[in-house]
Amino acid sequence: MHSQPISDIQPLADIILLLGEKVSKLITECRDFYKLEEEVYKLSQEACVKIFAWALEEIDTWLVNARDKRTWKVIGFRERTVVSSFGEFKVKRRLYRNKKTGEARFLLDEVLGWPERSRCTPRLKEMAVKLGSEVPFRRAAEILGYFVPGISAMAVWQAVQEAGEALRQEGESRREAVFEKGETPEGKEKTSRLYIEADGVVVRLQRSGEKRKEVKLFVAYTGKEAIGGGRKALKDKLVTSGVGEGERMWEEVYSGVASRWDMGQVKEIYLGSDGAEWAKQGVD
């Protein structure tokens, strides 16, 4: 991409001027520390939402001018709801049609790597996933609500689901490359010894025909190191988990391990488990 002037910065100036006016009003009227902090934060969020929306529209305008006009024709605008770390807003972006193939695409979404059906922005999704994997979704939404107005437990759940599906597909792609396409992983890190531990935990399922499912957990590492207080931590830890069959999961584990470590340098591999049959398959 080459740079070009922003089409119109007046909207940005208007946002900043309006923010200044509202803060000035607070300065003359507010005499409560908590309230002042709360209101300044809310005003800042409102301004950030408007600036974010404006920035997206400016990129969309840049793209319409930079596109290959022989290939892409604008066929209209479509509105999309965005839930960001600043709050929720709507943005209009151009829908294009390929004159040769008839394919319809949003160039803005594509250039920014913005998933088609995801309402949450990548940054908010990252925050939601980190919280949602540590505490219940409702509690995660409550905590995020202090910073992001209107986020729901369902939004947190959806963010975690999307992140999990992306990781599942990534692991499956690595497994297929090694065990179905015959590709050789090219791990770069070097170690002469690897430890791999496997265990399972049974979890209750919701909205499923099955009541319970075993999640298979694997951790690979190169050793242990003292961290003080008589405790030790795993070195170079690599974690894999899933609900697939034992052999398939071990294939995914191996492809992940071999993509990180140079297996030609590994002289010893120690496997540890509680003796479950699927865990013993790792030896094979």
3-state SS, 99-159, equals CCCCCEECHHHHHHCCCCCCCECHHHHHHHHHHHCCCCHHHHHHHHCCCCCCCCHHHHHHH
Please check whether residue 237 lies inside any domain of the structure.
Answer: yes
Does a structural domain hold residue 126?
Answer: no
Q: Which long-range contacts (CB under 8 A, 24 or more apart) does 268-271 make?
A: 268/192, 268/193, 268/194, 269/193, 269/194, 269/195, 269/196, 270/193, 270/194, 270/195, 270/196, 271/195, 271/196, 271/197, 271/198
For residue 1, give the 3-state DSSP assignment.
coil
- The answer as to whether 261 is a domain residue is yes
Question: Do 148 and 121 form a contact (C-beta atoms < 8 A)?
Answer: no
Domain that residue 257 falls in: 193-280
Residue 135 lies in a domain: no
Return per-residue pLDDT of the chain as tens, 284 residues: 455 556 678 888 999 999 999 999 999 999 999 999 999 999 999 999 999 999 999 999 999 999 999 999 999 999 998 889 888 899 999 999 999 999 999 999 999 988 877 888 889 989 988 888 888 888 998 998 888 877 888 888 888 888 888 888 888 898 999 889 998 888 999 999 999 999 988 887 666 677 788 889 999 999 999 888 889 899 999 998 888 888 999 999 999 999 999 999 999 999 998 888 888 888 88
Q: Which helix (H) or strand (E) holds 21?
A: helix 10-29
Please give the structure tokens belonging to residue 70: 């022989």
Report if residue 262 sits inside a domain.
yes
234 part of a folded domain: yes
SS3 of residue 274 by DSSP: coil
pLDDT at residue 134, as a whole number = 85
Instruction: Give the number of other Cβ atoms within 10 Å of residue 151's Cβ.
Output: 24
* Neighbouring residues of 19: CB distance < 8 A, sequence distance ≥ 6: 43, 44, 46, 47
Q: Which of 103, 101, 99, 123 is nearest to 112 (CA)?
A: 123
Residue type, 231: R
> Measured in Å, how far apart are the chain's first and last C-alpha atoms?
50
Say if 233 falls within a structural domain.
yes
| Cβ–Cβ under 8 Å, residues 260 and 240 | no
Q: What is the pLDDT of residue 244?
A: 84
How many of the other CB atoms lie within 10 Å of CB of 58?
Answer: 16
Question: Does 253 map to a domain?
Answer: yes
Residue 76 burial (CB < 10 Å; 0-12/13-18/19+)?
A: exposed
On whether the CB atoms of residues 234 and 219 are closer than 8 A, the answer is yes
Strand-strand pairing, 193-204 and 104-105: unpaired
In the chain, the number of structural domains is: 1
Residue 208: what pLDDT? 64
Nearest residue to 172 (alpha-carbon basis) of 252, 244, 281: 252
Phi-psi category of 63—alpha, beta or left, where left has phi over 0 and alpha has psi -120 to 50? alpha
